[in-house]
Each structure stands twice: as C-alpha cells, then as structure tokens.
Structure 1
Amino acid sequence: MQSPSQPSSGSYLFFCGLSAVLLYGISGGIRSDIGILLEPLREATGLSYGGLSFAIAILQLSFGFSQPFWGLLAARRSHRFVLLSGVGLFLLGLLGLSLVHSLLGLVLTLGLCLGCGAGAISFGLLLEAVIFAVGPQKGALVSGFINAAAGLGSTFFSPLLSWLSLIGGIPAVSIVLSLIMVGTLPFLFYLTRPPKNAVHQEKGPISEASFSTLLLGALKRPEFRYLLGAFMTCGFHMALIEAHLFSQLLSYGLQRPHAAHAFAAYGLSTVIGALISGFLSVHISKSRLLAIYYGFRAGLIVTVLFFLPKTFLSALFFCVGLGLFGGATVTPTSGIVTEHFPLAQSASLVGLLFLGHQLGAFLSAFWGGMTVAATGSYQSIWGIDSVLCLLASYLSAKILPHQQKNTGSGHKA
C-alpha cells in the first residue's frame, strides 16, 4: 500500500474530504436509518418484530466484525479495492432486499451484505484513505467532517426512507438507494487515485498471525481496554436508536411524518455534535470529553423516558439530545487511538473498537427486539442502557492523556 503523501493543494484536500464525506454520509446514513424500514419490512415479509430485529442485529454484528478485516485488506491491497467491495456488497443487499420473504433471505441481504458493505465504507477506512492522500495533519482536519457526515446522511435519508416506503414500499426503497450508491463511484475513484508523491510499498498476504498479534498487543494496553469497554456500551446505546427509536416514537402515538421529522432532527444534531466534538478534541482532554458525553447520555435517558410526558416536543428534545452526544464519541475515541498507536495500525485498531461497538449493538438490537415483543415496552432496555452509559463514563475517565502517561513513565524511570 502507499505511505502517507506529502502536503497537497487546497483544492485536492477539499475534493478528497468531500468524497470521503459523501461516501460516509450515504453509507452511515442508510445504516443509521435502517430502523425506519422495520414496519415496511414486516408488511412485505410477514416476519415478526423479533425476527426483523434479529436481522438488524446481524447487520450490526457483521458491520463490526468485518471492519478489522477490511482494514488489514486495505493495508495489503488498496483502499480502492476495499471501498469498491463495499459498494458492491451494498448494491447486492439493497437489490436483494425487495426479493426476499424469509428470515434467512433477510439475514443474507440486510444482515450480511449491507453490514459488511457498510464495514468497508466505514469511518476508520475512509479517514485512513484521506490521510494517505493528503497527509496526517490535513487528514486530522477532515476527520470531524467525515464523522459528522453520517448524521447529515441520517438527516437526509430519514424523511426519504419514510416517504419512499409510503409510496412504493421496499421495492422503491431498494431502487432509489441503489442508484444513490452507484452515484458514489466517481467520488470513490477520486479519493483513492494514487497521489503523485506517494511512496509505494510491497504488498503481502493477510495472515491470521498479523491480526492476532495486533489484537493481543492492543489488549495489553489499559487505554485500549478502557476504550473497548466504553465503546461496547456505546454500540449498545446507538443500536437502540438506530433499530428501535423510530418504532418507539410511533408507539407513543406520533404520526409517521412527525416521527420522521424527530428522527431527522436526531441526524442533524449528530452533525452539530460531531463538529463541536472535533473542535473540543483539539483543546480538551479526549478522555475527559468521553466521560462527559457518556454521563450526559445516562442523565438524558432517565430524565426523558422516566419523567417527561410522551409528546412530540419531548420526543424532539430526546432526539436532539441523543444526536448531540451520539456521534460525538467517535472523534475523541479515534484520536486516543492515533495518539497511543502507530498510524499504520490505526484503521485496524479503530476497526477492532468498532467490532466491540457492534457486539454491543448486536445485543441491543436483538435483545431490545425480544424485550419489546415480550413486554410491549421499551423502558427496561433503556434503563439498562443508562447504567451502561455510566459505566462507560467511568472507564473513559480512567484513560490517561498520552503526554501525561509519557511524563509519568519518565518520572518512574
């Protein structure tokens, strides 16, 4: 693969950043809003809420499990190969979605194809592609915008998916989303074109030993273990939003367009929160920011779900609060990784964190669906989530800043 390029022109930086933002906005936006399709899929397939929740849980799991593999594959082949593979899998999943009527078919299309496709077009892979194109310093500048793109995509796709499912059902959703995904190809090729001053290195096979060595080495570091534990609870939290929040809003008596507007407000808030978090991450301890973010989530859940009346205004307040502190965790989390580990390992390590994130997401999407099907209520699963958010806040507070850790080590020596 190529090594990071030297600083490049402003226009090249802009278009590389724009390409990454569009790719992640579309990939992340579709994945984040997949819960909007629960009811249309139930009507089209006749499957139960629990069965559909299981398929979405598989999507969350395959999204996480595939990312470390995609990271290693990008290191051995190229970012273009990985991103093209992701687009291809996305198209298979989207086109197949309108043809399936069984749980197995839904798991294969929605769960595996869309999940693995989204894993290939993920934050870590796109950020690394930008860094190799424009250099580490300018890549860090773009990272906040890439992170915010998923929220912007969610804002766009939330009303679009709701409208498409109303006028044409799942077939209309499949066709339109497939066309949008095909439209990303020119941006993909621009982002991954080899810079003139890049240095190319030998490529080699992906070995099981290289992956296990990377994993074991990372797990020996306490800061990575704390990040992993906190990010697993983050996945649990985010999957509740992505898989169940839209249906939960409908259960409160909100009309589908009103629920879509509240969900769109969530997506827009994630953009604002991610951009603010990117700025704060430069000036404030990243571990302290994470502790604040996770703690706020717990307080918001308890306040809104257990004390406020269930109205459109309270739903809107809840969605905005969830959005502001939802995607905000990604930038400080990835920033801690790049501070403590070599750049060449960053995409794979961020992928490992997202693997833990998606393990939590799998439990949340599946367990949440089973709980709702059994009790008809969302309260218990959100109560568990609030406790996990407090745990994540505690773990994040235990991570020492990189400079402080080095200073401490120097005194000991």
Structure 2
Amino acid sequence: MSDNKPANSLSLKQVLIFGGLMVTLSMGIRHGFGLFNLPITSANGWGRETFALTIALQNLIWGAFQPITGALADRYGAFKIMIAGGILYALGLTGMALSSDVLNFTFAGGLLIGLAQTATTYSVIYGILGRNVSADKRVWAMGIAAAAGSFGQFLMIPTEQGLLSNFGSQDALLILALMASLMIPIAFMLREKNFVHTHNLGDQTIKEALREAIKNPSFRFLTLGYFVCGFQVVFIAVHLAPYLKDLSKIYPDVGAPAVATTALALIGLFNIFGTYAAGMLGQHFPKRYLLSGIYLGRSIAIIGFLWLPLSPMTTYIFASMMGFLWLSTIPLTNGIVAQIFGVKYLTMLSGLIFFSHQLGSFCGAYLGGYLFDKTGSYLIVWEIAIALGVFAFMINLPVKERAIHRPATA
C-alpha cells in the first residue's frame, strides 16, 4: 500500500495553515451556538426543546450527509465541496438571524448549517491531509488540524459572547455569517491542482470500500465509540450554559453569563493541548488505548463535576478537563481508519464513522432539552453520559490497528 505523495501535492505548511483556518472558522462558530440558546428562545417565546431540536437536526444532517460529501470529495477533490460549504454556512447563519418562525429557523440552523459542516470540517480536511502528508507525519498533522479547530472554539466563544452583548442575537448571527463567508477564499488555498482519483489501493470501488469497512470489526467498534463522543460533547456544548443558569438559584456565583462563557472558552483552550497531545502520542503508542483512556477520563470528570459543590472554580476545572479530552478522539480515530484502510477513501470512511458521532450528537442535544422540559432537570442526561463513557472505554480496547490485507489483483 503506497503512501507516496503526488508530485502536484500541497505543501505541509499550506495544508496545515489553511486547513487549520477552515476548521477554526467552521468548528469555532458552531461551538458558540449554546450561548444563543436562552437569548433566542426567550426572544421568540420558544421552549428549550425547540432550539435543542434545531441543533440536534443540524448534527444529524451533518452526520447523515458526511459520507456522501466525503465520497464526492474523494472522487472529485475537496475544492468545490468546500466552496459550497462556505456558501451554505453563511446562508444558514443569515436564515437563523432573520427567522422568527420555528420551521424557518430549524431549516436554516438545522439543514443548511448541517450540510455546510459536512463540507468544511474535519472529514474533508483530513482527506486533504491524508493525500498530501506522508504516513509518518499523518496522525501528528491531524492533531495539528484538530488543535486549530480547538483554537477556533477558544477564540469564538468570547467573540460570540461579545457580539451577543453588544449587538443582540440577530445582528450577532449576521456578523458570524460574514465571517463564515471567509471559508470561500480559504478553499482556494486548499485547491489540489490536477487532482486525480487514481492513487493508492488499485482499482477498489466505493462499493467495495464500504463493504470492506462495514465487515471489519474494528471499524464497527470505532463507530460505536464515536456515538458516545458525539453525545457527550454536544450535550455539554449546548446545555452547559442553561444548566449553570438553572443552578444559580442554589449556587448564585455560577449564574453569571461570564461563567458559562469562560467555561466554554476553557474547553476550547485545553482542547488545543489535548488534540495536539493526542496527535503526538498517537504516533508512538497504540491509539486504541489512548481512545479508551479518553472516554473513561470523560466519565470520571463528569462524576467529579456532579459530586463536588458547584462553583465557578469547579466549573472551570471541569471545563479544562473536558477540554483536554474534547476532540482528542478525532486524530486518533481518523488515524486508525487511515492505518487500516489507507487514504483513497479516507474522507468517505471517516464520514461514515462520523455519522455515528452525529447520531450521538443528535441524542445529546435533543435529549438534553426534551428530558429537561419533562423533568425540570439535566441529571438523567448527565448519568447517561457517564454510562456511555464507560461503554466507549470498553468497546475501543479490542480495536486492531494493523493494515487490512488485500489479495493482489491481476
């Protein structure tokens, strides 16, 4: 299985800088959606379930269409896909800003932004990395790209809170739409000139690649683990701010908007270190053990957060711990997929696993709002997140990281 780069490949610096900028914007903007939860629902007289359903649908659309977008990017190159993604992202944010009707808001924030994220986030960028970075640096480069997305989260949380405070939710979303449009010129810097879909893995078709992956036990284990990742991170991202606001009746110090903003920013900050560390360690240690440790660590962090008396400091400690473990699963999971199956269909196969992640994201976002409206508490969802973390710890242990054997073809 050859990993040689084509002669017309992008440079390592170019891929890292502009791939990092793409995920900085795409992941950074979405990370702050939780800050819009209470302002938008209060202004429109909606229940939290309405906003939660929109974000849940966004994640479901993202996951459902990611394998399709990934297959198109693998077949025709990522450039046109990223252009379309930047346009849809800007249109979706504009639609969210101008919608007072639930259906229109859900269409813009759920469908349009969900589709945009399939074309501007990790799966597409990792496909470019896989094609243009040698195998000995691939997981490290994936860690760098994930760290860039983490920096976007750290950068955009205070930015979005500042926009909300100074301009209100509508104008804040319109300004974010302008920022999202910057993805279009960034895509031009990641254009793979004379892209040809013939390198690596001989003449294997998309159908054969899908069949091969689905039959592989390690691929199925990774897929189940990624469901847990999506559930945990999206539940926390969307519902941490209202959770703190609710408990301010008992713990007044945690109710200030600055506490939630700081916590979400800390997640982004420590995510930079966590994803970079995962990329570095994944080059030298079994990635399956690192993945198992990440999921178990998340459950321990949540238990501590619920068990200790709530305060700004315990919230910040929890956010820092979760941040370190937040997206560190991404370079490790994608690195294993590339190691087992090669890079020809990496975007598509990563997208297929990511669909499971987004099913988890849908459940985490929607169940958080649904169960809160039914019970008046987030406790049940926190307990589900803990149990799922233990499950993911166990399911990643039997993953086998060796390259798949393919009989030579005539």
Q: Could you state the TM-score of these two structures normalised by the residue count of structure 1? A: 0.89
Query: 1:166 Cα shift?
Result: 2.0
Confirm whether residue 327 of structure 1 aligns to residue 327 of structure 2: yes
Residue 270 (structure 2) aligns with: 269
Confirm whether residue 396 of structure 1 aligns to residue 396 of structure 2: yes
Residue 210 (structure 2) aligns with: 215
Give the Cα separation in 1 of the matches to 2:195 and 2:158: 44
Give the Cα separation in 2 of the matches to 1:280 and 1:137: 13
Residue 161 (structure 2) aligns with: 162
CA contact (8 A) 2:87 2:181 kept: no
CA contact (8 A) 1:55 1:111 kept: yes
Query: 1:135 Cα shift?
Result: 4.8
Assess, with a 3 A threshold, how the Cα gap between structure 1 residues 324 and 238 changes in structure 2: closer, same or farther.
same
SS in structure 2 at match of 1:344: coil
Give the Cα separation in 1 of the matches to 2:288 and 2:396: 5
CA contact (8 A) 1:17 1:142 kept: yes
Confirm whether residue 200 of structure 1 aligns to residue 164 of structure 2: no
CA contact (8 A) 2:52 2:366 kept: yes
Query: 1:370 Cα shift?
Result: 0.6
Unpaired runs of 5+ residues, structure 1, are: 203-209, 407-413
Measured against aligned partners, the alpha-carbon deviations of 1:377-410 in whole angstroms (never above 9, x if no partner) come to 111101011011100000011113327x98xxxx
Query: 1:185 Cα shift?
Result: 2.8
SS in structure 2 at match of 1:168: helix
Query: 1:128 Cα shift?
Result: 1.5
Query: 1:193 Cα shift?
Result: 4.4
Query: 1:7 Cα shift?
Result: 8.7
Confirm whether residue 291 of structure 1 aligns to residue 287 of structure 2: no
Confirm whether residue 93 of structure 1 aligns to residue 82 of structure 2: no
Give the Cα separation in 2 of the matches to 1:185 and 1:345: 24
Assess, with a 3 A threshold, how the Cα gap between structure 1 residues 201 and 163 changes in structure 2: closer, same or farther.
closer
Q: Specify the code of the residue in structure 1 equivalent to 2:228.
A: T
Measured against aligned partners, the alpha-carbon deviations of 1:7-45 in whole angstroms (never above 9, x if no partner) come to 979xx4223211000100110111222111101211333
Give the Cα separation in 1 of the matches to 2:372 and 2:197: 52
Give the Cα separation in 1 of the matches to 2:207 and 2:368: 32
Unpaired runs of 5+ residues, structure 2, are: 199-204, 249-254, 406-410
Residue 173 (structure 1) aligns with: 172
Please list, as runs of the form range in 1=range in 2, the aligned pairs for 1:110-189 lying within 5 A after superposition. Answer: 110-189=109-188
Measured against aligned partners, the alpha-carbon deviations of 1:267-292 in whole angstroms (never above 9, x if no partner) come to 10111100111111111100011111
Confirm whether residue 280 of structure 1 aligns to residue 275 of structure 2: no
Residue 309 (structure 2) aligns with: 309
SS in structure 1 at match of 2:100: coil
Two-structure CA RMSD over aligned residues (Å): 2.2
Give the Cα separation in 2 of the matches to 1:278 and 1:30: 23
Give the Cα separation in 2 of the matches to 1:221 and 1:109: 37
Q: Specify the code of the residue in structure 1 equivalent to 2:174.
A: I
Confirm whether residue 338 of structure 1 aligns to residue 338 of structure 2: yes
Residue 78 (structure 1) aligns with: 77
Give the Cα separation in 2 of the matches to 1:311 and 1:218: 46
Assess, with a 3 A threshold, how the Cα gap between structure 1 residues 259 and 201 changes in structure 2: closer, same or farther.
closer
Confirm whether residue 224 of structure 1 aligns to residue 219 of structure 2: yes
Measured against aligned partners, the alpha-carbon deviations of 1:141-193 in whole angstroms (never above 9, x if no partner) come to 42111111221111111111112122222222222212212223332201114
Measured against aligned partners, the alpha-carbon deviations of 1:234-293 in whole angstroms (never above 9, x if no partner) come to 111111122111221222322002220121011101111001111111111000111111
Give the Cα separation in 2 of the matches to 1:102 and 1:199: 43
Give the Cα separation in 2 of the matches to 1:134 and 1:327: 21
CA contact (8 A) 2:76 2:197 kept: no
Give the Cα separation in 1 of the matches to 2:102 and 2:208: 37
Residue 371 (structure 2) aligns with: 371
From 230, 239, 253, give the equivalent of 1:235: 230
Query: 1:139 Cα shift?
Result: 4.7
CA contact (8 A) 1:131 1:140 kept: no
CA contact (8 A) 1:46 1:101 kept: no
Give the Cα separation in 1 of the matches to 2:103 and 2:9: 48
SS in structure 2 at match of 1:400: coil
Confirm whether residue 360 of structure 1 aligns to residue 374 of structure 2: no
Measured against aligned partners, the alpha-carbon deviations of 1:36-92 in whole angstroms (never above 9, x if no partner) come to 110121133322101111111001101111210111111232211100111011011
Q: Specify the code of the residue in structure 2 equivalent to 1:123.
A: Y
Q: Specify the code of the residue in structure 2 equivalent to 1:299.
A: I
CA contact (8 A) 2:74 2:347 kept: no
Query: 1:105 Cα shift?
Result: 0.8
Query: 1:362 Cα shift?
Result: 0.6
Measured against aligned partners, the alpha-carbon deviations of 1:202-255 in whole angstroms (never above 9, x if no partner) come to 8xxxxxxx6665433312110001101111111111111221112212223220
Q: Answer with 138-147 or 293-302: which moved more.
A: 138-147
Residue 244 (structure 1) aligns with: 239
Q: Specify the code of the residue in structure 1 equivalent to 2:127.
A: E
Number of aligned positions between the proteins: 392
CA contact (8 A) 1:158 1:263 kept: yes
Residue 351 (structure 1) aligns with: 351
Q: Specify the code of the residue in structure 2 equivalent to 1:295.
A: L
